[in-house]
A and B are shown apart, each in its own frame.
Chain A
Amino acid sequence: MRSHRTPRRRTRTRTGVVRAAAFAGAAVLLSGCASYGVSPGADGDSGTVTYWLWESAQLPAYQQCAEDFQAQHPDIDIKIEQFGWDDYWRKLFTGFISDSAPDVFADHTSRYGEFADRGLIVPIDEQVEEAGIDLSQYVAGTTDLWIGPDGKRYGLPKDFDTIGLFYNREMAEEAGVSAEQMAGLTWNPTDGGSYEQVIARLTVDENGVRGDEPGFDKSRVKTYGLGLGSAGAPFGQVEWSYLAMTTGWWYMDEQAWGTRFNYDDPRFQQTISWWRGLIDKGYMPPLAFTEGGSPDQQMQAGRYAIVSEGSWQTANYGALEGVELALAPTPIGPSGKRAAMQNSLADSISASSEVKGAAWEWVRYLASEDCQSVVADAGVVMPAIASTVEASKASLGKTGFDITAFTDQIDAGSTFPYPAILHAAEVQATTTTGLENVMSFNTDVSSLTQMNERVNALFE
């Protein structure tokens, strides 16, 4: 089940448990209110501030932050509510429509553009300047993610994440793959480099024959060298972006908010071609196998030896019983460098909030060292303030993983920002079909060129 994966940075809008089944009658039954747009709210400085977040694992840390905050601001009450990822965005959506949205909510790079575009959240440039907040205290790259399509700032970063490779340590040892080897993998779209060799080596069929040995039966694979979670539409955040980006490719004509896309670029298509080739070789499961158990469950069952995953999954993978996992950085590509997508969450203020003054105080506190060091100690995610990252390394290190695999890429400057775009849901729908068709071998990789045209058409 998808929601079990807590796909907090995922852009996929495909659903988990849908309480919105009540929506089934859907649009025909939609009963609306007579007025359109959201109420303008007010700037109240005291009262109750409602705060929403989607990750249950982070709830205790933010509860702590709220208590500390309330001790400093006795006239402000923080009311925290938590909903799972899928429910979260739907509830937020209906909240906006019915003027019952939370005053402050944890926001995602893939979503806030639409909210800003529709005037549902407010920019905070003035407040940031007035309060004299030092933007350089945050981990490089995190603050810019929150500059919206109109050039205004819509959030202060509260944490950040990147991508790494979780692998089964015992399987690697059995196959004679050392931790040093895993840390020094190379990749290219032609022969896959040492990354493909290791994936082949870790693939084992039901007779115990390895993927790189003669007699390997690709139709009866017991353990796939590389796991697969989805076709990775639209950005392949954990699926293929760490490969594509080492070829010098970029999604679109701009760093963010672009309108012309590059899914027709040969560098991208070669990457997907190599990636898809792993299925053909029997080193990665067919796309059809991704319906059902999630990658972490398959990992636990010993079906996958390596999966590329986000740092936000560290605690989850660390808690898997019965398997001993380790963490490696993503491979070095043709550029001579590694690459990993870096994303950051921030808290946004609803335009309809009646207490925007108090809401800003809370947002400011969430983005402060006081709160972020609490988050660091909780050991679930890495907070965005650079000075707290060391504490976070220690607490996340308790999971048994060496999380320098994530943080080294930030220090080395080999990360790239999450590509924020408008029309995200439309792009998602178009690319999901396009990429799933390619990954299920319905269409050729070159069909991604037509997909690119369809995506571009959304922006015309």
Chain B
Amino acid sequence: MAIATRAARLRTSSTGEPLRPDANGSPRERLTALAFIAPALLGFAVFYFWPTLRGFYFSFTEYDVFNAPVWVGLDNYRAVLEDAVFWNSMKVTVLYVVINIGTQTVLALLLAVLLHRLTRSVLVRSVIVLPYLISNVVVALVFYWMLDAQIGIANQFLGWLGVDPVAFFGDQNWAIPTIALVNTWRHLGYTALLLFAGMLMIPGTVYEAGRVDGASEWQMFWRITLPLLRPVLALVLVITVIGSFQAFDTVAVTTSGGPAEASNVIQYYIFDLAFQRYQFGYASAVSVVLFLILTIVAFFQLRLMRADQSDMA
């Protein structure tokens, strides 16, 4: 019914301008729209918006879940600034994100280009996303055992090559790179597929023109693929960077933040504070700080990469 009215109005529109959905609409239309949005909105309100508000509130309190929160003003935030463990966690997390996003994005781009320019095989595409289909916890545990310093298969191979055993998860310098690369392995195919989908939107005629002009594959990648992919790449980066900042499960099932806090990423620290040490107020404050940092990072990423504009005229 509502659709029919809308269609009728579209037909009667006499101006030559592109038609935009009427922001005001009739009350009836708004009601219909609301009905469609309601389930998602309800879920958002109950499971995201309200808890977020409460989280903000808890961040100003001392709260152990069993007793009523006590208002402490900005004390938690002052404590965060002085908390050496928090700053170490931020450092560790940033290192993790840099390694994870750096390797993942470059490799995913490479993989997507290969998919785009060399093969269109559905089988290859399916194989590439396989790691993503395995649960994070399973991936983490399998690597944890494979990379054991004494009885892991990886060090067995290294031994044959004459390399001393490496404590991939246990060495303080190796722990974060190892965890970051394990997650790169898992997310690589998925990210590549997203970029590949973006590449499919680039018109083939552009490449044809490039080839006529005598451009090499290398030149076409830098001059055609990358610039035209930019909006998609920006979106993928925003999503993966935020996801990367939220690294938790791999750490939780392997090193638990150790040794000596070398892999104590921020999400694990928050989890530890809240669910193992019952400091929900302080954990909320750390979460809010993380929230603010992520917001700023996402804002600048979108701005710098002009994600809302496309170079495809």
A residues lining the B interface (CB < 8 Å): 1, 13-18, 20-21, 23-32, 36-38, 90, 93, 96-97, 114, 118-120, 219-220, 285-293, 297-298, 301, 303, 425-426, 429, 432-433, 436-437, 440, 442
Contacts and interface: CB of A to CB of B under 8 A. Distances in A.
Interface string B42-82: 00001110111011101000001111100000000000000
B47 A31 contact: yes
Nearest to B264: A433
B50 to A, nearest CB: 6
Contacts of A425: 276-278
B112 interface: no
B172 A15 contact: no
Given A118-B66, A425-B276, 19 more contacts: A17-B137, A17-B253, A21-B248, A23-B271, A26-B270, A26-B274, A27-B273, A28-B56, A30-B54, A31-B54, A90-B275, A286-B170, A291-B168, A292-B144, A292-B145, A292-B147, A292-B148, A293-B148, A293-B151
B150 A21 contact: no
A14 B256 contact: yes
A287 B150 CA distance: 12
B308 interface: no
Contact of B260 (A36, A93, A285, A440): A440
Nearest to B285: A27
B280 interface: yes
A437 B273 CA distance: 20
Contact of A27 (B50, B55, B256): B55
A26 B252 CA distance: 13
Interface in B154-201: 164-165, 167-172, 175
Given A96-B66, A303-B150, A440-B260, A32 B169 contact: no
A436 B256 CA distance: 13
B141 A26 contact: no
A437 B271 CA distance: 22
Contacts of B168: 291
Contact of A31 (B51, B68, B164, B246): B51
B158 to A, nearest CB: 13
B100 interface: no
What 5 pairs across the A-B complex have the smallest Cβ distances?
A: A292-B148, A288-B170, A291-B170, A288-B167, A28-B55
Nearest to B68: A36
Given A24-B248, A118-B66, A293 B150 contact: yes
Nearest to A97: B65
Nearest to B167: A288
Nearest to A29: B51
Contacts of A26: 267, 270-271, 274-275, 283, 287
Given A18-B253, A21-B249, A31-B51, A426 B259 contact: no
B103 interface: no
A24 B259 contact: no
A437 B260 contact: yes
B167 A21 contact: no
A301 B284 CA distance: 44
6 contacts: A27-B280, A28-B55, A30-B54, A114-B278, A118-B64, A288-B172
B112 to A, nearest CB: 28
A270 B209 CA distance: 77
Nearest to B281: A27
Contacts, number: 175
B259 A288 contact: yes
A290 to B, nearest CB: 6
B167 to A, nearest CB: 4
Contacts of A114: 278
A249 to B, nearest CB: 23
B87 interface: no
Interface range on chain B (Cβ under 8 Å from partner): 35 or more
Interface of B: 46-48, 50-52, 54-56, 58, 64-68, 85, 136-137, 141, 144-145, 147-152, 164-165, 167-172, 175, 246, 248-249, 252-261, 267, 270-278, 280, 283-284, 286-288, 291
A292 B151 contact: yes
A429 B277 contact: yes
A27 B274 contact: yes
A296 to B, nearest CB: 12
A298 to B, nearest CB: 6
Given A13-B276, A17-B253, A28 B287 contact: yes
B267 A433 contact: no
B151 A426 contact: no
Contacts of A30: 51, 54-55, 58, 274, 280, 284
Contact of B54 (A32, A297, A436): A32
Contacts of B286: 27
B260 A442 contact: yes
Contacts of B50: 31
B275 A1 contact: no
A37 B144 CA distance: 40
A291 B169 contact: yes
B275 A436 contact: no
A287 B259 CA distance: 8
B287 A298 contact: no
Contacts of A118: 64, 66-67
Nearest to A221: B150
Nearest to A442: B260
Contacts of B270: 26-27
Nearest to B67: A36
Contacts of A432: 258
B122 to A, nearest CB: 31
- Of the listed residues A16, A97, A220, A293, the one surrounded by the most CB atoms of chain B closer than 10 A to its CB is A293
Given A15-B252, A31-B50, A289 B150 contact: yes
B254 A93 contact: no
Contacts of A433: 85, 260-261
Nearest to A13: B276
B302 to A, nearest CB: 22
Given A18-B249, A433-B260, A303 B151 contact: yes
A380 B229 CA distance: 62
A436 B267 CA distance: 21
Nearest to A301: B151
A28 to B, nearest CB: 4
B145 A293 contact: yes
Nearest to A302: B151
Contacts of B137: 17-18, 21
Contacts of A18: 137, 249, 252-253
